[in-house]
Every structure is written in structure tokens, then in C-alpha cells.
Amino acid sequence: MVFTQTLPLVPAPVSAVAREGRMPVTAATRVQGSSPAAVQLIEAVARRTGIRLSAADTADADIVLRIDPAMGAAEGYVLTVAETAEIVGADEAGLFYGVQTLLQLLREDESGWGFLRAEVHDAPRFPRRGVMLDVTRHFFGVADVKKFIDATSALKFNQLHLHLSDDQGWRVHIDSWPKLTELSSSTAVDGEPGGFYTKDDYREIVAYAASRHMLLIPEIDLPGHTHAIGVAYPELVESPVLSEAFLAESAKNGQALPVHGESYLGTGVGHSSVRIHEERTYDFVRDVVRELAEMTPGPYIHIGGDESLGTPQADFDLFAERATAIVVEAGKTPVAWHEMGSAAGIAEGTIGQYWGKTTPEGTHAEEASHFVERGGALIMSAADAAYLDMKYSEDYPLGLTWAAIIDVRAAYEWEPTAVLDVPDAAILGIEAPLWAETTRTLSDVERLVFPRAAAQAEIGWSPRSAPERNWESFRGRLGTLAPLWKAEGVDFHPAAEVPWSER
């Protein structure tokens, strides 16, 4: 059996050699140091096994964690488990990832708990490995976001993109435009309750993500997906543009049409736009970007740009140029959905997020390539492979189908450098978005995200040439995550393609 020699690790490391036997884990097992990674290890082992390892500040502890900057590769680590265990991180993130790998080696058998013996050398393929959570169509509070961070950072994702504004709601407080949260945050799709993050909530999420080595990327979606802005400030937003397709879709779904200045509870897209030729629009964008930049330590601000279907092309391009320039003036690097690549003068260095298909359609590839021509780079979120909100199967109760039906194998089998005709170096990494039209609870979110996020984690982290980097190996390794998710209370879809293990 091929799986018996394979270590139960996802994402697959650069190299891993299984050794004979296990290192027992008992209450007498001592972990060196009080580093954040050591504390996280002790807490995670306690949650999983009920055994609380002791902290001991001696170099002869049973589990030693240390940083060696000479190791080079950012986020890399070397993990050795024999009589004792050692994790050497290239940096704090590397140490954290070494701990995540060690936790996947923690297994229970007839003799009790132990770490499988192994020697692992590891570092990521791509510097950016992201997940996106849409908190607009349904709102998820701080505790939910923290749990989402825990479960995704354990798969070595290092970027959390929060989609903070859309037609259905505005989800972060902005002091200079207070009506946004006062009037535009209380509802969600189908009239479900909404919500928003205070500035303290937002800072708490940023800090929590950082403690798990995840960088927060806030998105304010512009110039479309802005109906909610018009509920608070009607003068900033055009009247809804209702295309034939939009009317048909709304009728099919039995959803009321959007009305200027009133909350929108449907899921239609492409009907809204801010006023492109009003200076006040840019005062608004400047204030929002400034306040977000002040509370976002990471280098990026996402300015949206998708599906502005009712906005004339020239207006859209003008807006894209001005909005990205505003982000640069605020000292941040703009990120935008690939449509903004239509603007000749988009700010230099803007990062494009490609959400077309694995075989590009229409103008998508051309728009995406323009970011690279302007000195920027790309994040790949191919909708028919990496989208976490697509159904697993036709009859799956959650999710949408417009891009594809994505089973676990389809989520796994795509190559981010093979989609567009750009140099490999222009691909910063991948991002897997979870759009929240159909997810009312965090459990709903988790069942769409897990296990498919693990497939995206492996695509983002593991070398394309790693011996285990194939579906047959992946499905076996993936199945071994079930007991870890159960111990953490993370719901997942037990897809029939995967041989799930009990322990």
C-alpha cells in the first residue's frame, strides 16, 4: 500500500522521510521555551489529547524550538522527530509551520499518543497563500473569524482577505463616514441579521491573524458592489442598473429588486456603481482608504473592481486609475480584481487578482496581464478550481454553480502558472475565496472550505515536483486530517473521494 510509507502531511513538504517508530507524548514531555510557537504547540496538544506538555527552558527539553536565520528560505523549517524532537525555523513563521507539521504527526494508537518519527525539510513554493472570507452577504463576528484563521493557518495559509463591503452591507466602522455602519450594516442576504467590526474588533482580527502569521488584506469593493454605500449616502451611488439578465435572475430566485437608498437583501450582482464623475466620491474613497491604512499593518489594500456591469467602460477605467492612485498615496500597494487591468493607467505595481477560469474567457487574460506590464504581479483564484463557494456536486445543499461544480479532485488538479501567458515570477501565489451567499453560519462556511482549502494549501505551498504532489497521494494524506479537524471542532464535508481516517 502506497499510503503506509507516506507521512500524513498536508500540504506535502519539500522532503519528508519517515523513520521507524514513534516518540511518546505524555505529561512528562517537556517543550523548550516560551516562544509563541511553543505556547501554541502546548495548547494544541492539550486540546487534541488532554495531555498538557510542560514548558522547560532548557536546551535538553524533549521538544526544542529554535530559529536559525542562516537557514535562508523565508517561512521554511527543518523538523526532526526521533527520541526527541527539534524544530528549526528560518524565522518565526517557519517555527509556526514546523509546529503545524509536528501536530499532523501527532497520532494515537494502542500504546497511547505519540509523534510519528520523521525528518522534514520544508519551505513554501509561493510567498502568498491566501483565503478570502466574504463577511458581507452573511456576517461573521470576531470569534468566527478567529476560528477560521486557526483552521486555515494550520494549513500554512499566510493571507486572509476580508471582503468588507458589498451590495448587501458595509462591515467595518469608518469614523469620517459614520452612517456606513449606522445605516448599512444591520442586514444581510434574505433579511438575515448583519453586523460590523468596530475599529477595535478590526485591530483584534489583525493582531490575531498576525499571531498565526497571516497577513490581513481588507477589501472595499468599488466602483460596483456598492449598493449598501447608497443606503447611508445616497448621493454617492447611481440608481440601480437592471439588465435583462439581472431581472431574470431575480425573478428566478424570487428576490425583490434593488431600490436606491434602501437595503438590498437579494444576491444579484452588477447593478450598482458609485458616481464616477462626482469629486465627493473620491473624497469618500480617500477617507476610507486612509482610515483602513491606519489600522492595517500589512502592505495591501484591495479596492475591488469586479462586475461593475452597469458602469460604462471609460468611466470604469477612469475610476480604476484614480482609486489605485489613492491607495498608493496612502502608502499601500493596491490589489484589484482582474477587470481593473482594463485601465491603461492603473497605478504601477498594483496586484491583480485573477478570478476567471482555468481556461480564460473573453478579455480576462488580457486584463490580468496588464497588471504585470505595469510592474505589478498576480494572485490566482481560478473560479472553476479555487472557488470555495461552488458546490461539490449538483445536489450539495450549500454553494453556487455558476463557475463549476468542484469536487475535491477538481479543486486539487489545477496549476496556477499554466492559466495565463505571463512569466512564472509574476505569480505571487494563490487565493481561495469563500463567497457567503449561501452560508448562514460558520459551520456552513467550514463545510464548503474544508476539505477543499487543503487542496489549495498544497497548490500554494508544495513544490510542483514533490514526489507526493499527486491526487492519489493527496487523497490519502487528506483523509488523515479528519481527527485533527474533529478535535478542533472544525466542520468539514466528508467527501466520498477521500478515505477518511478515525485517528
> Which residues are designated catalytic?
307
Which residue, 225 or 322, has its beta carbon nearer to ligand TNX? 225
- C-alpha dist (Å) from residue 291 to 94, 171, 237, 281, 334: 32, 14, 21, 16, 15
Task: Figure out which of the listed residues 164, 206, 269, 303 binds ligand TNX, where binding follows CB under 6 A.
Answer: 269
Of 118-147, binders to ligand TNX (CB under 6 A) are none
Say if residues 184 and 228 touch (Cβ distance below 8 Å): yes
Which residue, 433 or 460, has its beta carbon nearer to ligand TNX? 433
The three-class DSSP label of residue 495 is coil
Which residue, 91 or 306, has its beta carbon nearer to ligand TNX? 306
351 interacts with ligand TNX by CB under 6 A: no
Pairing of strands 169-170, 351-354: unpaired
202 interacts with ligand TNX by CB under 6 A: no
User: Least distance from C-beta 195 to ligand TNX, angstroms?
Assistant: 18
Identity of the residue numbered 348: E
The three-class DSSP label of residue 466 is coil
Say if residues 413 and 471 touch (Cβ distance below 8 Å): yes
Say if residues 338 and 367 touch (Cβ distance below 8 Å): yes
Which residue, 291 or 384, has its beta carbon nearer to ligand TNX? 384
User: Least distance from C-beta 407 to ligand TNX, angstroms?
Assistant: 17
Helices 452-461, 442-449: crossing angle, 10 deg rounding: 50
Task: Figure out which of the listed residues 86, 122, 291, 306 binds ligand TNX, where binding follows CB under 6 A.
Answer: 306
User: Least distance from C-beta 378 to ligand TNX, angstroms?
Assistant: 14
The three-class DSSP label of residue 93 is helix
Which residue, 138 or 213, has its beta carbon nearer to ligand TNX? 138
For 229, the grid coordinates are 454605500
User: Least distance from C-beta 464 to ligand TNX, angstroms?
Assistant: 26
Whole-number Å distance between alpha carbons of 306 and 220: 11
Task: Figure out which of the listed residues 68, 307, 413, 488 binds ligand TNX, where binding follows CB under 6 A.
Answer: 307
Task: Figure out which of the listed residues 97, 126, 284, 337 binds ligand TNX, where binding follows CB under 6 A.
Answer: 337
Q: Which 8-state DSSP code applies to residue 191? A: G
Whole-number Å distance between alpha carbons of 153 and 81: 22
Task: Figure out which of the listed residues 82, 257, 265, 400 binds ligand TNX, where binding follows CB under 6 A.
Answer: 400
Which residue, 313 or 470, has its beta carbon nearer to ligand TNX? 313
Task: Figure out which of the listed residues 196, 355, 371, 492 binds ligand TNX, where binding follows CB under 6 A.
Answer: 355
367 interacts with ligand TNX by CB under 6 A: no
Which residue, 159 or 462, has its beta carbon nearer to ligand TNX? 159
DSSP 402-441: SS----HHHHHS--GGGSSSS-GGGEEEEEEEE--SS--S
User: Least distance from C-beta 196 to ligand TNX, angstroms?
Assistant: 19
Which residue, 148 or 387, has its beta carbon nearer to ligand TNX? 387
User: Least distance from C-beta 167 to ligand TNX, angstroms?
Assistant: 8
Task: Figure out which of the listed residues 219, 384, 389, 407 binds ligand TNX, where binding follows CB under 6 A.
Answer: 389
Task: Figure out which of the listed residues 157, 435, 450, 485 binds ligand TNX, where binding follows CB under 6 A.
Answer: 435
444 interacts with ligand TNX by CB under 6 A: no
Whole-number Å distance between alpha carbons of 322 and 315: 11
User: Least distance from C-beta 473 to ligand TNX, angstroms?
Assistant: 30
Dihedral angle computed from the Cα positions of residues 473, 479, 481 and 487, in that order, rounded to the nearest 10 degrees: -170
C-alpha 58: how far from its chain's center? 37
Q: Which residues of 224-247 are buried (b: 16+ CB within 10 A; e: fewer)?
A: bbbbbbbbbbeebbbebbeeeebe
Whole-number Å distance between alpha carbons of 120 and 16: 4
User: Least distance from C-beta 293 to ligand TNX, angstroms?
Assistant: 22
385 interacts with ligand TNX by CB under 6 A: no
Q: Which residues of 133-159 are buried (b: 16+ CB within 10 A; e: fewer)?
A: bbbbbbbbebebbbbbbbbbbbbbbbb
The three-class DSSP label of residue 244 is helix
Which residue, 238 or 389, has its beta carbon nearer to ligand TNX? 389
201 interacts with ligand TNX by CB under 6 A: no
User: Least distance from C-beta 306 to ligand TNX, angstroms?
Assistant: 3
Q: Give the interface size with ligand TNX as a residue count (CB under 6 A).
A: 10
Report the interface residues with ligand TNX, using CB under 6 A: 269, 306-307, 337, 355, 387, 389, 400, 435, 437
